[in-house]
Structure 1
């Protein structure tokens, strides 16, 4: 073997290595380097999409209401209501977790040279009613379909609040208020005709036909008892009152008694030993209006709790009854609150 040939090859390899290192240093100094993949926004799951949509709706309402409240020519009572609506919407967005910002939006815009959209929604009291009405409908549907029960419960409460504020602002501005969700409690189908019964009710426009699933017998029994005892208490007060209080108490008593019967049928306990209804109940010694407000508030809490327990896709009637009980309490003088049915967020 020629030792001089081996030394020559070693010198050539060393020379090539040095040349490669020199080129790498020169190229790095000139700013030439391999490009890494551009950053991308993480893909949200279904629950995150629902949450972001509800937050966006709340923040839009807050922005519109704040601007409309400060606009020239807006009456003082309307301005005051708009200010409250803006504050409530911000609180709701915060309870939902706030607006998500990964920080990548600005980076991607800078790289692409694109500018963010600068479209400004209409900022009038009537536009706020429309935004509240639309947000309430979307949030109500999301509450029914949310995969997570606690999120569904929060969305149901926010939808109820949006509906209530939309109604009050619509009355102040002479605008069309939101359509209320149907509150007809579905009847349990006879074995073998569940599909026919659901189809018939749907074609007749009878409202939601899904019976809540995922609720225990004890939970349904407690609901039957709550509705029936509320009906009894208002029957007693209707008999003791006169005028509009008597009429209102009687109508609500009849409604609650009917709902107790409907839920007893759903639970399958009507006329059985498990039926919790009694002949009479103790009635608190408080003024009728205070009693009625407390009864409706308690029922709203019951329905909100069950929304968080029932399976997705079967909560619509519970959400609707949460809204209805809250609006009924308002008719007895209960103030609007940001989170109806959720006392822990008061």
Structure 2
């Protein structure tokens, strides 16, 4: 909360009002009344509060599970996963503005504390917590739904989209380290899922068009130089990527215009084609995520799915999951 440092008119007016209240009180005039009502939150603030509460729950679970893992002397990657998940949740909670708690309400008769407890700012697990509990919370996160809500402004939607991707990556990592290979609901691997391009995208999606088309070109070169076994797969990927570039160009309204960045060939490192491919794939995540602020709420969910797929494709298994994937 911002506190003003101005000291003249407002302070003087406040002093006069206090003095007036004392004088009226001495004359037997009562100014007692009910305490002012807490302002009703705007829809965007409700979304932010819900996101903060979910984040606080994930933080509490990860911390509790991590403490239990340390106390039991657990080894392997799970304790480290839990520590990083808790660390990321702490940062997310701070950047979301924390959980709002109602201040103590003054009494309607004497202005003193009414004794009502403020809303609990977090969640304290009531019993032992395991890594599987944290996994359930990550996989059950509703960050994507809130990012796609029309009441989420551009900044909140972008923040929640990146948080959702962070949780998806950590869920996959934690699931693997817990030795749980099968996803209960049969969800496909995000890296291999067939995803739809939104029907409408902002014209600022031009860099994504170029990246997809350049990836298609790179796959064509890989197919031309590869052996028979990899030629078919690379050629098929090239067609898919070129088609995706076409779909994005049409959705963004730049197909065949001067703003269409596609070319017949691209300058790539032909001595390191896999490296060139990896570099282009890494451009997709921030490219997709950059479209979220200017996209209508209903179209944000498929965009976030595409960004999540790009995150899985570009995630180095030897590197820690970024706190804010796609946002630097």
Q: Which has the higher helix share?
A: 1
1:155-186, Cα deviation, whole Å (9 max, x unpaired): 11111111111111111123454846775325
2:125 counterpart of 1:120: yes
Change (3 A) 1:73 1:289: farther
Pick closer, same or farther for the CA change 1:289–1:107 going to 2, 3 Å. Answer: farther
- After superposition, where does 1:1-346 map in structure 2 within 5 Å? 35-71=32-68, 72=72, 74-104=74-104, 111=114, 120=125, 123-135=129-141, 138-145=142-149, 146-175=151-180, 177=183, 179=187, 184-186=195-197, 211-212=199-200, 215-216=202-203, 219-237=204-222, 239-240=224-225, 253-267=238-252, 270=255, 275-284=260-269, 287=272, 290-330=275-315, 335-343=320-328
Displacement after TM superposition at 1:104 (Å): 3.1
CA distance in 2, matches of 1:172, 1:83: 14
**Quick one: distance in 2 between partners of 1:56 and 1:171?**
27
1:247 and 1:165 mapped to 2: Cα distance? 33
SS at the partner of 1:313?
helix
Q: In 2, Cα distance between the equivalents of 1:116 and 1:98?
A: 13
- What count of residue pairs does the alignment treat as equivalent? 290
Alpha carbons of structure 1 residues 95 and 112: separation in structure 2 relative to 1, 3 Å: closer
Q: Deviations over 1:183-221 (max 9, x none)?
A: 5325xxxxxxxxxxxxxxxxxxxxxxx5235x13xx243
Q: TM-score, normalised by structure 2?
A: 0.73
Q: 1:111 to 1:68 in 2, by over 3 A?
A: same
Quickly say closer, same or farther: Cα 1:332–1:269, change in 2 above 3 A. farther
Give how far 1:240 is off: 4.9
Could you tell me how far 1:120 is from its partner in structure 2?
2.6
What CA RMSD, in Å, does the superposition of the two structures yield over aligned residues? 3.8
Distance 1:78 1:328 in 2: 22
| Cα distance, 1:126 vs structure 2 | 0.5
Change (3 A) 1:147 1:25: closer
Structure 1 residues 119 and 96, CA gap change in structure 2 (3 angstroms): closer
Contact 1:153 1:308 in 2 (8 A): yes
TM, length-normalised to structure 1: 0.70
| Structure 2: distance between partners of 1:25 and 1:119 | 49
With 83-92 and 323-332 compared, the bigger mean Cα shift is at 323-332
Q: Tell me which residue corresponds to 1:18.
A: none
Q: Which has the larger radius of gyration?
A: 1
Gaps of 5+ in 1: 1-23, 187-209
